[in-house]
Structure 1
Amino acid sequence: MEFGTIEREIHIDATPETVFEVVSSPEHLQEWWADEADLTSATPGAMGELAWGDKENPRSHVETFTVVEADRPRRFAFRWVYDEAPAAGTSLLVTFDLSPAGSGTKLRMTESGFREKGWEVAVLEQSYREHSEGWDLFIPRLAEYAARLAATR
């Protein structure tokens, strides 16, 4: 296995505009992904924070992210998992590409930059595996939430 890029694709029964909101707005991110989300705006350079946890420690895992691209309603991308300035080689890049598909949206998510982080092999493999399993859980939740949101509009 290469441990380079994670890719997921799913059809969502919602417009690209709705799906863009779901992947770029804190109030929506909290519904399908993070326990807490904060983002000042969905514009390049904006910084945000995602937090996960449990009842005893609701913020046991916190990740800062920086918006790289926001082309409403086609693409939203951010860099995260960084210890220093978010750039190629120091962070992971998550991109949500959205395109109309019938009465809904085809969402293609990619997360890249694992090998460029310079992690030792065991850390690389574990991080890649954890992120891959996470997206397997969260991408279907994203689709379900966006479809429910669209049905209420």
Structure 2
Amino acid sequence: MKPYPLLFGPSFQERIWGGSKLKKIFHSADLEGNIGEAWVISDHPHGKSLIVNGELAGKALSDLLDLCPGWFGRSPIRSFPLLVKLLDSREDLSVQVHPDDEYASRNEKGESGKTECWYIMESEPGAEIVFGHQAAKKKNLSN
């Protein structure tokens, strides 16, 4: 099969801090709850993106890896390594802690670690992002 530009349908994720903007952006007003994330390119088992156009319509990225492995380069991969998502946070997000690949493989049921990049497309007046922390290392009280 010859490669072609793929379009993906999002997987919506409800979050306690989510809002309603993603429902409007994706013309999905029938979605219920606070939609905090739209996973627009995802091979994650909790929300796979489905191809919505062409010969592969209805297939997930994992299917594409099996059917057309050459589309992904010369090195075989077991799952698509990126998760691209849009967020709508009307409230403060939870604290984000992400393990590296080694830790995740041992402790997170074989999942990959997580490296993030954020690109802020729009924000409300007064919005802020906090990076890092001021927590002190816990002292050993048993001595």
Q: TM-score, normalised by structure 1?
A: 0.28
When Rg is computed on C-alpha atoms for both structures, the one with the higher figure is 2
Query: Higher helix proportion, which one?
Result: 1
The normalised TM-score by structure 2 is 0.29
Which of the pair has the greater relative contact order for Cα pairs under 8 Å at 6+ separation?
1
Judging by fraction of residues, say which structure has more strand: 1
